[in-house]
Amino acid sequence: MNTRTATTIGFTAALVAAAILVAPNDAHGATGPVTSGNGWKLQTNITHTDGQPLTIAFHDTTSRTKLTPYVKNVAAELTSYGIPVTLTTRIVPTTVGTCPPAHTISYRWISKPNPDRPNQSFTGTCALKAATYSAYVYINSDYWDPGRRFHEWQRMNVIWHESGHAVGLAHPTSCPRNSAGLQPLMCGDPYKDLRTRRYSSFDGTGLRRLVLNRAYYPLP
pLDDT-wise least confident of 6-20, 151-165, 194-208: 6-20
Query: Strand pairing of 54-58 and 104-110?
Result: parallel
- In this prediction, residue 160 carries a pLDDT of 94
- Mean pLDDT, range 78-104, rounded to an integer: 97
Assigned CATH class of 7-20+35-213? alpha beta
- The C-alpha atoms of residue 122 and residue 136 are separated, in whole angstroms, by 9
Tell me what the pLDDT averaged over the chain comes to: 84
* Domain boundary assignment for the chain: 7-20+35-213
Q: Where residue 218 falls among pLDDT bands split at 50, 70, 90? A: confident
10 against 58, higher pLDDT: 58
- Mean pLDDT, range 116-141, rounded to an integer: 95
Q: Where residue 56 falls among pLDDT bands split at 50, 70, 90? A: very high
- In this prediction, residue 151 carries a pLDDT of 86
Given phi > 0 = left and psi -120 to 50 = alpha, else beta, which region is 10?
left
- In this prediction, residue 169 carries a pLDDT of 97
- Mean pLDDT, range 213-218, rounded to an integer: 91
Contacts 24+ apart (CB under 8 A), 195-200: 195/153, 195/157, 196/157, 196/160, 197/153, 197/156, 197/157, 197/160, 198/77, 198/160, 199/77, 199/81, 199/160, 199/164, 200/39
Residue 123's DSSP bridge partners are 137
Angle (CA) 101 114 71, round 5°: 50
- The C-alpha atoms of residue 151 and residue 155 are separated, in whole angstroms, by 7
pLDDT-wise least confident of 13-22, 54-63, 125-134, 147-156: 13-22
The share of the chain scoring above pLDDT 70, in percent, equals 81
